[in-house]
């Protein structure tokens, strides 16, 4: 189950090209993304209210989305503005209204609101300090549930085994802590793994408060960042397609004075390596059963799993809080 009442990053802005509707499945829905004549982005349910054809098979005509079946034209708010068979002067019944999804563009992503409409929406969840960084993106679709993909990103003890030939080849099997905090819908993790020298791992309560930025950050509902160095970050946005499927939007962020052509080359090389890491994760994460992660599915945690447990508990808390608010609103409705 997705956390309601959240902004989800679901696509990169550059994927939605002016003049061409884009139909994709996200948030368990078939959606059409398109831009009007001024470049304004709209997201509608990919279904014409007339005869249920896919609007994404249509085209943009005079800044409107035209259905491919009978030429009905819809504006960015999902309202039908023309039924050709009835004539341009005819009144359009309000029943021909497409479902429209609140959306905005920020940080190079398209964000879609999943939940009840609001008069005012919160800001999109993103990471501070990336404004001066260049970045390069790659993506990979997985037949893996978003919850399991995020668990893998927060798993700090699998590196020496899943990534023994790449980022885990230093053999740091002992996990101290990890020191983990949850504040403002953000999980922060300080990783202090080391080789096993015969001493037990330190528990989180035995670790001093950190005096440096966290190694990992996760912003609910679906954005993760790894701090490699002061001038290098990895960001992964896990876009939910439907239960059991997601798309990883993997970005390399780096602060550099290199020429633009070299920046692009460095980014491509970095993402080639990132995809190799992702492929190592995929083999194991895809094997997990049940397919959807949760707290009460028969799995048993160790101290090193604290970030995963915090994620699953807060995810459940947010889902239950949203359900409670929805129930209160329904009871108050006349």
Report yes or no: 120 and 264 within 8 Å, Cβ to Cβ. no
Q: Give yes or no for a cis peptide into 110 (omega within 30° of 0).
A: no
Arithmetic mean of pLDDT over the chain: 94
pLDDT for 125 beyond 80: yes
pLDDT digits over 164-186, tens only?
999 888 889 999 999 999 999 99
Question: Do both 284 and 152 map to the same domain?
Answer: yes
Q: How confident is the model at residue 263 (pLDDT cuts 50, 70, 90)?
A: confident
Are 139 and 245 in the same domain? yes
Question: Does residue 17 form part of some domain?
Answer: yes
Evaluate whether residue 108 is within a structural domain.
yes
Burial readout 94-133 (b: 16 or more C-beta within 10 A, e: otherwise):
eebebebbebebebebbbbbbbeeeeeeeebbbbeebeeb
Q: Does residue 138 surpass a pLDDT of 80?
A: yes
Select the more confidently predicted residue: 243 or 258: 243
Strand 186-194 with 59-61, pairing: unpaired
What is the four-CA torsion angle of 195, 199, 204, 205, rounded to 10 degrees?
-160
Residue 323 forms part of a structural domain: no
Q: Answer with the one of 62, 81, 114 that is the final residue of a domain.
A: 114
Q: Which domain holds residue 199?
A: 134-317
Backbone phi, psi, residue 309, to 5°: -65, -40
Residue 324 lies in a domain: no
Q: pLDDT tens digit string along 280-306?
A: 999 999 999 999 999 999 999 999 999
**What is the rounded distance in angstroms from the CA atom of residue 294 to the CA atom of residue 290?**
9
Query: Does 334 score more than 80 pLDDT?
Result: no
pLDDT > 80? residue 189: yes
CATH code of residue 10: 2.102.10.10
Place 255 in a pLDDT band, splitting at 50, 70 and 90.
Answer: confident
- Domain shared by 110 and 173, yes or no: no
Q: Are residues 53 and 166 in the same domain?
A: no
Query: In the predicted model, is pLDDT for residue 327 greater than 90?
Result: no
333 pLDDT band, cuts 50/70/90, is low
Q: What is the per-residue pLDDT across 75-104, written as a single tens digit (0 to 9) for each? A: 999 999 999 999 999 999 999 999 999 999
269 vs 159, more confident: 159
The tally of domains found in the chain comes to 2
70 shares its domain with 167:
no
* Residue 125 falls inside a structural domain: no
Confidence of residue 267 (pLDDT cuts 50, 70, 90): confident
pLDDT > 80? residue 259: no
């Amino acid at each position: 189950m997705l956390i309601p009442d959240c902004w989800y990053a679901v696509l990169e802005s550059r994927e939605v090209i002016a003049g061409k509707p884009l139909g994709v499945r996200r948030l368990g829905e078939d959606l059409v993304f398109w831009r009007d004549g001024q470049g304004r982005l709209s997201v509608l349910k990919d279904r014409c209210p007339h005869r249920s054809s896919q609007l994404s098979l249509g085209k943009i005509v005079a800044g409107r989305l035209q259905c491919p079946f009978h030429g009905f034209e819809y504006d960015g708010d999902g309202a039908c503005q023309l039924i050709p068979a009835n004539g341009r002067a005819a009144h359009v019944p309000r029943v021909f209204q497409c479902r429209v999804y609140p959306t905005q563009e920020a940080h190079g992503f398209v964000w879609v609101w999943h939940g009840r409409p609001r008069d005012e929406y919160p800001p999109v969840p993103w990471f501070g300090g990336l404004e001066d960084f260049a970045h390069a993106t790659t993506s990979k679709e997985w037949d893996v549930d978003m919850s399991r993909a995020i668990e893998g990103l927060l798993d700090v003890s699998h590196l020496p085994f899943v990534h023994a030939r790449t980022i885990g080849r230093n053999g740091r099997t002992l996990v101290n802590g990890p020191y983990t905090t949850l504040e403002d819908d953000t999980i922060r993790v300080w990783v202090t793994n080391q080789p096993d020298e015969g001493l037990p791992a330190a528990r989180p309560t035995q670790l001093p408060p950190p005096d440096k930025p966290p190694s990992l950050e996760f912003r609910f509902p679906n954005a993760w960042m790894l701090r490699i160095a002061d001038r290098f970050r990895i960001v992964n946005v896990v876009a939910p397609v439907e239960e059991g499927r997601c798309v990883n939007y993997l970005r390399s962020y780096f602060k550099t004075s290199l020429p633009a052509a070299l920046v692009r080359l460095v980014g491509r090389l970095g993402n080639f390596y990132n995809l190799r890491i992702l492929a190592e994760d995929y083999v194991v994460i895809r094997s997990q059963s049940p397919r959807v992660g949760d707290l009460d599915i028969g799995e048993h945690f160790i101290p090193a799993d604290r970030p995963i447990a915090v994620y699953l508990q807060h995810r459940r808390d947010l889902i239950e809080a949203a359900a409670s608010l929805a129930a209160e609103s329904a009871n108050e409705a006349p």
